[in-house]
Amino acid sequence: MMVGRVLGGRGLLVPGSMVGRRGAVAVQTRLSGGHAVDPNNVTKVTPYEVDLMKVHQKVMTNPTLRSSTDARNEKLKWKRNIPVHGNTLHRNFDDIKHSTLTERGALREAIRCLRCADAPCQKSCPTSIDVKAFISCIANQNYYKAAQMILSDNPVGLTCGMVCPVSDLCVGSCNLAATEEGPINIHGLQQFAVERFFEMNIPATEGEKYHIAGDAKNRRIALVGAGPASISCATFLARMGYKDVTIYERNHFPGGLSATEIPGYRLSMNAVLQEVKIMQDLGVKIKFGMSLGQDFTVESLRADGYDAVFVGIGLPKAKIDKVFAASPPGFHTSKSFLPDVNYASKSCGSCSVGCDPDPKEAELPKLSGNVVVLGAGDTAFDCATSAFRCGAKTVTMVFRQGFGQIRAVPEETELARDEQCEFLPFAISKEVVTNDGGHVSGLRLVKTKFDENGKLVETGDHFTLDCDHIISAFGSEIDDAAAAAVKPMGLNQWGKLDVAPNTMQSSSTPWAFAGGDSAGSTITVEAANDGKTAAWHMHAYLQSEARKGQPSGIEVGPPRLPMMHTAVDDIDVSVEMAGIKFPNPFGLASAPPCTSGSMIRRAFEQGWGFAVTKTFCVDRDLITNVSPRIVRGSTNGPLYGPNQSSFMNIELITEKTLAYWVKVVEELRADFPDHPIIASIMASYTKEDWQELVAKTLPSNPHAIELNLSCPHGMGERGMGQACGQNADMVHDICSWVREAVGPEYPFFAKLTPSVTDIRAIAEAAVAGGATGVTAINTVSSLQHIDSNGLPWPRVGSENLTTYGGMSGNATRPMALKAISSIAASLPDVPIMGTGGADSADSSRQMIHAGASVVQICSSIQNEDFSVIQDYISGLQWHLYAQSRPDLRQWVGQTPPDAHASVARVKDHNLPHFGGYEVLRRKKRTEQAASESFSQSHATIGNRGAPPPASSPDRAPATVNEEIGRGLQFISNFTDMSIEEQVVAVVNPETCINCGRCYLGCNDSGYQAIEFDEDTHIPMVNDNCTGCTICASVCPVIDCITMQPREEIFPESPFMPHRGIEPEGEVVGTLAGQRDKRVNDYAPVKPGKAKKAKVDVSDVEIQSKH
């Protein structure tokens, strides 16, 4: 086995045999000599390559012969689904949920989502979270907006993402359940998005200003219990503008049952605290150590001047079978056992929500031997898995009925099954057996069955189950003290608080409301929705009270709750270009989304900043389209549904008349004066046609005109579109004709085709002819697909004919960025409208950094719908906001610098995560858990540590205009780039999944610089590495392979190109030498013209990017 050492503190493995020095840190490197060749036989495979290729993929020539015995033994070595026995998890409260996702997993899962119409997942969520929209934001790496959409509808969205019984809710209704790949992991995506938001450390602020009648905003509101129902209710009340909202909590910490009864391996305390902090950002106060029935009652709160009261308590009293009335030592109820577990294992850490100090040092309950858990609900399964962490050797779950009647959701039962709990169905407790000391030693049970009428009956067969502890989890109820303390609120026939289910308002006391367990909701998400519902109807009640005695008042109207709001949402994303003010830089391209005026109207209503009409012409040039004409791109491979990387079309310009579009522009200009409407026109190379078009268009008063000189199909055969746009002289003439027609000041843009040798020459011709600016680029001329019968797609008519069409979408983005940046560098003062593959806020930002002022969108809408604009706007707002904070400036987009580092507790770079190595890792983790404190290891959000304190803004947020061209300063000619500063690949073995793709790619597409250990499957990079980055490009794990300075990784092996045979004469091997070899009249980037960014990036640490 080849063994490497840790590099510095990075957790990176560098292979080797020769020791170098990097500061005071020893670094192993390998001097391979692998490229030494025989000059007389240069194609001969060297001994180094022969050894390197031992496990390399080869073409199969014969079947493999191996005995079944050998195969059985071999599989154990590579096994990854190694069973976990719960008795190895003593004191180990690491996250065990199958749904928890890293960023890589979240992105891969999010792109599966179909964004269904009238989405059933949203309808199945009690809090009505817009599931498809937040998943769309995750797919576009806009985690801020995803979290905002979650928390807007559900203030405890992180808790619910971790513990919701989604198989019975959103996931159970996912349309992809009808397919082989199964439903979306919605709760895992929800957890990921909200965790990432909390890492951003952005406080909540008051957003939409509610007009609250009279002095109602100062009305006093009390909430009892700091659980999910109260947190939700208080958050919504504070968002609506109520200033005096106080929660009374009996514990020294918030969270209710989320904190006391849901184990930390399913829900961390820090997740709860972050949700509470968002609530407190809005001014909600919590009074700890205040117990209902002891320190106050609902009536006393009213007497103390509170105008409304919300009761959000749990059910404090455990239901106990009369068999256990004596409660001998070794007997526990879920209401005592789970709080004891959580008091000890859930640390508040250094929380910032004002928790009172814990008056006692809690320890985990000490269990041993066999533990019996009675019950078949979610709580029973939590007790079972918690018992292992408290020392149980075996856990047996006993329930009265069969497996088909288990009330717990699959999310709970699967965890218990994975940890090898035993299950005993059809049994009822009859008697507790105790030893001489009175401690539980067994449980006598009787078997049950369903009779022919379906009634559960006892069979008379008795047996004894040896055990050392019994945990009863038969549910809970309101105790007498709580029932008395909530008066004048009454109880209903089920022993729950009597409230109207649609308003959560007390049937007998209009100023009292309730939600959660005490009101009959049995799961966290329903409790959150109870609080949400109560908040609105409490608002309606307080408004009606404030209006009493007034001659007129403010009507509450239909429910309209405010969104979660932060400083990000206040960022101005308007931009000015060519004297036109755009509310945001995102508009509809002249494409299918602008097929009609009503579509543009709907887009403006959704928030799109501007629109370019479908291209129209004089009536004598009207066209009729063929069909089919818009198809999914062949670049998508087997991916069907949304998230297509490209579309291909043979659609022409509009079929509607010039008069129609003139009317459209008139109406939209009048109804949406702040949303620029740009008229797209096309004609042949005829001055009279262009000037006639302009003369008939201008009376409608569009904000600007776009000249379509770039349609790549159909129109060129009529002498229009690309037939004009590929000729610089024709472009110049057309622009001069239009300038003559519109006058000296009116703005118009020439839309350019990418199907030219140098787009800068066409742009320069357009500007010289009088164009205000340019649009780059139109679709790319292409042939989309030919099937196995030689037939094309799309194909038209009985002759199955096709033509070269236009490709759009993400596949064209690199071409668009090249065109935009080269034009911006050559013509720094010319405004550019960018288009071509801008499918998200992040890709649109790239176009702005390349030099575009505004961005036109089409394919993204074809993949989704007009509502995607919320992702564009909020994503850009987040970027501009992040420029004001030094900590967020170090992020790459919405990803923190260390996001892809391993979160494994045990770090041993020589141990992969399979077979015996994984068993050894688990053994080390068990030893580690036995000695570490819970406050050190479990005060986390999910799997990651609590976020560091937010840094204060040290500058104003950036503006869109300041960001234009920010990336141009880094685009140069090849001969300007350094050949002295070389990098090499470094593999992080903690995140490596041992697939060997880097090894295969390097061998057959690179430089044979990666060795692959036969035993551990850990790849090791040697000094043959030239930094080409093929390995990182094919690696399936984000940032598992990063590119690091060669002098740091291989200090004794400076880079020298392997020439094969020594060169003769002078070699251009230096930067100066490269520059001396330039051909003076050829420069892909014109030097000295690129405008510098207006945003200071001097303090931004450049992150490794592949």
3-class state of residue 437 by DSSP: coil
Residue 841 parent element (H or E): helix 841-850
pLDDT of residue 33: 54
| CA–CA dist 405, 449 (Å, integer) | 12
| CA–CA dist 779, 769 (Å, integer) | 23
| CA–CA dist 861, 1011 (Å, integer) | 45
Angle at 646 between CA 645 and CA 648, to 5 degrees: 165
Dihedral sign, CA of 105, 109, 110, 111? Answer: positive
Contacts with 508 (C-beta within 8 Å, 6 or more apart), sequence order: 488, 489, 490, 498
Are the C-beta atoms of 367 and 469 separated by less than 8 Å?
yes
Q: How would you write 471-510 as a 3-class SS string?
A: EECCCEECCHHHHHHCCCCCECCCCCECECCCCCEECCCC
The per-residue b/e assignment along 460-492, b for 16 or more CB within 10 angstroms, e otherwise, is: eeeeebebbbbbbbbbbbbeeebbebbeebeee
Instruction: Provide the residue type at 662 as one letter.
Output: V
Q: How many CA atoms lie within 13 A of 183 on its CB side?
A: 21
- Whether the per-residue pLDDT at 450 is higher than 90: the answer is yes
| CA–CA dist 291, 412 (Å, integer) | 31
| CA–CA dist 993, 1034 (Å, integer) | 13
Looking only at the bridges linking them, the beta strands covering 773-776 and 832-835 are: parallel
Its pTM stands at 0.93
* Residue range 184-213, pLDDT digits in tens: 999 999 999 999 999 999 999 998 877 676
pLDDT of residue 926: 86
* Residue range 1024-1059, pLDDT digits in tens: 999 999 999 999 999 999 999 999 999 999 988 888
Looking only at the bridges linking them, the beta strands covering 832-835 and 854-857 are: parallel
Are the C-beta atoms of 634 and 768 separated by less than 8 Å?
no
pLDDT of residue 647: 95
Are the C-beta atoms of 233 and 531 separated by less than 8 Å?
yes
Residue 463 parent element (H or E): strand 456-466
Nearest to 287 by CA among 355, 204, 217: 355
Instruction: List the beta bridge partners of residue 26.
Output: 21
pLDDT bin (cut points 50, 70, 90) of residue 342 is: very high
pLDDT bin (cut points 50, 70, 90) of residue 11 is: very low
CB atoms closer than 10 angstroms to residue 993: 15
| CA–CA dist 536, 448 (Å, integer) | 48
* Residue range 627-666, pLDDT digits in tens: 999 999 999 888 899 989 999 999 999 999 999 999 999 9
- Whether the per-residue pLDDT at 94 is higher than 80: the answer is yes
* Residue range 778-793, pLDDT digits in tens: 999 999 899 999 999 9
* Residue range 819-828, pLDDT digits in tens: 999 999 999 9
Tell me whether residue 174 is one of the annotated catalytic residues.
Answer: no
| CA–CA dist 905, 913 (Å, integer) | 13
Contacts with 111 (C-beta within 8 Å, 6 or more apart), sequence order: 139, 643
pLDDT of residue 23: 33
- Whether the per-residue pLDDT at 261 is higher than 90: the answer is yes
Nearest to 861 by CA among 569, 625, 624, 586: 586
- Whether the per-residue pLDDT at 230 is higher than 80: the answer is yes
pLDDT of residue 426: 97
Residue 445 parent element (H or E): strand 440-450
Instruction: Provide the residue type at 1064 as one letter.
Output: E
pLDDT of residue 7: 32
As given in the structure block, the two tokens for residue 890 are 């170090």
| CA–CA dist 764, 772 (Å, integer) | 11
pLDDT bin (cut points 50, 70, 90) of residue 1103 is: very low
pLDDT of residue 554: 53
The CA distances from residue 31 to 56, 733, 909, 996, 999, in Å, are 21, 63, 21, 21, 18
Catalytic residue among 160, 711, 992, 1002: 711
pLDDT of residue 351: 57
Contacts with 412 (C-beta within 8 Å, 6 or more apart), sequence order: 165, 378, 381, 382
Instruction: List the beta bridge partners of residue 333.
Output: 472
The CA distances from residue 127 to 130, 364, 505, 862, 867, in Å, are 9, 35, 18, 29, 20
Q: Where does residue 1027 rank: exposed (0-12), middle (13-18), buried (19+ CB within 10 A)?
A: middle
Q: Where does residue 83 rank: exposed (0-12), middle (13-18), buried (19+ CB within 10 A)?
A: exposed
pLDDT bin (cut points 50, 70, 90) of residue 68 is: very high
Are the C-beta atoms of 265 and 590 separated by less than 8 Å?
no
| CA–CA dist 1008, 1010 (Å, integer) | 6
Q: What is the DSSP string of 614-638?
A: PPB--GGG-----SS-EEE-GGGTT
- Whether the per-residue pLDDT at 13 is higher than 80: the answer is no
Are the C-beta atoms of 819 and 845 separated by less than 8 Å?
no
The CA distances from residue 861 to 34, 149, 586, in Å, are 51, 20, 12
Nearest to 124 by CA among 170, 73, 86: 170
As given in the structure block, the two tokens for residue 53 are 């290729």
Q: Where does residue 949 rank: exposed (0-12), middle (13-18), buried (19+ CB within 10 A)?
A: exposed
pLDDT bin (cut points 50, 70, 90) of residue 1062 is: confident
Residue 286 parent element (H or E): strand 285-288
Cα of first residue to Cα of last residue in the chain, in angstroms, is 29
* Residue range 873-914, pLDDT digits in tens: 999 999 999 999 999 999 999 999 988 877 666 766 678 889
The CA distances from residue 971 to 94, 601, 977, in Å, are 46, 39, 10
As given in the structure block, the two tokens for residue 51 are 């050894």
Residue 870 parent element (H or E): helix 869-882
- Whether the per-residue pLDDT at 4 is higher than 80: the answer is no
Measured in degrees and rounded to the nearest 5, phi and psi for residue 614 equal -60, 140
3-class state of residue 789 by DSSP: coil
pLDDT of residue 25: 29
Nearest to 334 by CA among 322, 346, 316: 316
Q: How would you write 577-612 as a 3-class SS string?
A: ECCEEECCCEEECCCHHHCCHHHHHHHHHHCCCEEE
Q: H-type helices in 143-297, by residue range?
A: 143-153, 157-163, 186-200, 228-240, 257-260, 269-281
- Whether the per-residue pLDDT at 937 is higher than 60: the answer is no
Q: What is the mean pLDDT of the chain?
A: 90
pLDDT bin (cut points 50, 70, 90) of residue 6 is: very low
| CA–CA dist 315, 476 (Å, integer) | 6
Angle at 703 between CA 1092 and CA 846, to 5 degrees: 30
Are the C-beta atoms of 897 and 1036 separated by less than 8 Å?
no
